[in-house]
Structure 1
């Protein structure tokens, strides 16, 4: 049975972690298949946006396979490496296309980190988040200690990480961790509709804009503004007036259809 499923339609690839019997735990084998899947959709010109989710309703992913770690912690060093075949966050980050996380159940510890690797999070009412690194006795290595505080604030991040308590979907939305919460049967349709909206953007523009947001967010504000100015000048001087007018007409038509 494949550990990763890929379905492609209307410019959107749905990538599914497929170990529901193990709460989609990130075994070494699954991490390799995820890296291969994300590389495949990243290089497929028919794919313009990606939805990442988990099989079943119990779990997006429960994180690293603790049964594997219980037998040997030797894999922890590899898991913290930068190789996408070991590090699932790197696997997602190697995709320059928009990645929407459809969080169908629990996202725990390493699974929480994988969720935060996505560009946008849509959660079902079944979704819950927890950081149990401290309780397990393992330091995070996929970005959770830095990303979470930047998303929800320092004190809230400390509350989650220093208790290991679960955060329910409604509170996650209120804290700004997820964009919206929907019923379980509406999760994939909602995520795919948003992905199709993103897929309708010119792919080169989408990739460049995503990179600008991410690269700038990693910098102090002033440096981020400088980065935007540099890339804006370099890109916008190449735009033809005719292209701007054509795009303006299309934007106006789309706005009228949404009104």
Structure 2
């Protein structure tokens, strides 16, 4: 599929999606959110795709925020609709995606950009990355999950400070806060992310999908994560991947998971 604001590349079952609006520092607008939704939806149905790496074009920004010019004159009703649609189409969609999503954060990840990175299953940052949620400096609050996912990752106190001050933290501070898993040189960022993706793909993608769902259940209101885990654990015994994995272990050979 042809896109105007994103680029796609598949290599060895790893799909790299690059947000490509360099003149706008890859800021998210409605069209970009829609294209990202379509790209993720297609990846969900593509058996050749096992892991997604999400990044931004250039060296300056992953995503520098939302495109403010699009909603500066919105009414309260329009603002609520904007947040709800964005959550459904992209941020919640990525967070609950059944295949691993790695955010490779190059440069600025601010506002909606950090919210998108936090929606990914985990994050790797370049050493020049800077992250923050500056929405209160515009008289608004994070509306794409920032007030929920940031405290889950860094703790309530740090999230309160970051949001209230509208300040930025650098990559090393993000690592200290557990906001990112790794920090690497900018020119090694995608290679590092690909290395982790290859480690992931050695395992059962069926089991990984179930694990993603079980982990997420712990953070969803009204759901018992332990019950979700028990159900998923039981279902795993009926999969071909389980039969292959246990057989390979008992016969001291490398597993070749069929993905079923």
**Structure 2-normalised TM-score?**
0.87
Which residue does 2:229 correspond to in 1? 228
Gaps of 5+ in 2: 256-260
Q: Distance in 2 between matches of 1:110 and 1:186?
A: 25
Distance 1:241 1:22, change over 3 A: closer
Gaps of 5+ in 1: 255-259
Which residue does 2:82 correspond to in 1? 79
How many residue pairs match? The answer is 251
**What are the residue-to-residue correspondences of 1:173-184 with 2, within 5 Å?**
173-184=175-186
Distance 1:238 1:12, change over 3 A: closer
Give 3-state SS (helix, strand or coil) of 2:131's partner.
strand
* Cα RMSD after superposing both structures: 2.5
Distance 1:171 1:250, change over 3 A: farther
Q: Does the Cα contact within 8 Å between 1:39 and 1:95 map onto a contact in 2?
A: no
Q: 1:45 offset after TM fit, Å?
A: 0.6
Q: 1:242 offset after TM fit, Å?
A: 5.4
Give 3-state SS (helix, strand or coil) of 2:84's partner.
coil
**What are the residue-to-residue correspondences of 1:1-259 with 2, within 5 Å?**
2-70=4-72, 72-73=73-74, 76-82=79-85, 87-93=89-95, 95-218=97-220, 223-236=224-237, 243-248=244-249
Q: Can you list the C-alpha shifts for 1:139-183, whole angstroms capped at 9, x where unaligned?
A: 222211111112111111111000011110001001111001000
Deviation above 6 Å: which 4+ runs of structure 1?
Answer: none
Q: Distance in 2 between matches of 1:87 and 1:243?
A: 36
Distance 1:248 1:111, change over 3 A: same
Q: Does the Cα contact within 8 Å between 2:14 and 2:52 map onto a contact in 1?
A: yes
Q: Distance in 2 between matches of 1:241 and 1:162?
A: 47
Q: Distance in 2 between matches of 1:128 and 1:113?
A: 13
Q: Can you list the C-alpha shifts for 1:50-78, whole angstroms capped at 9, x where unaligned?
A: 000000111111221012223x3256344
Q: Does the Cα contact within 8 Å between 2:119 and 2:149 map onto a contact in 1?
A: no
Give 3-state SS (helix, strand or coil) of 1:80's partner.
helix
Structure with more contact order per residue of length (Cα contacts < 8 Å, sep ≥ 6): 1
Q: Does the Cα contact within 8 Å between 2:33 and 2:86 map onto a contact in 1?
A: no
Q: 1:248 offset after TM fit, Å?
A: 1.5
Distance 1:83 1:148, change over 3 A: closer
Q: Distance in 2 between matches of 1:184 and 1:199?
A: 24
Q: Does the Cα contact within 8 Å between 2:96 and 2:212 map onto a contact in 1?
A: no
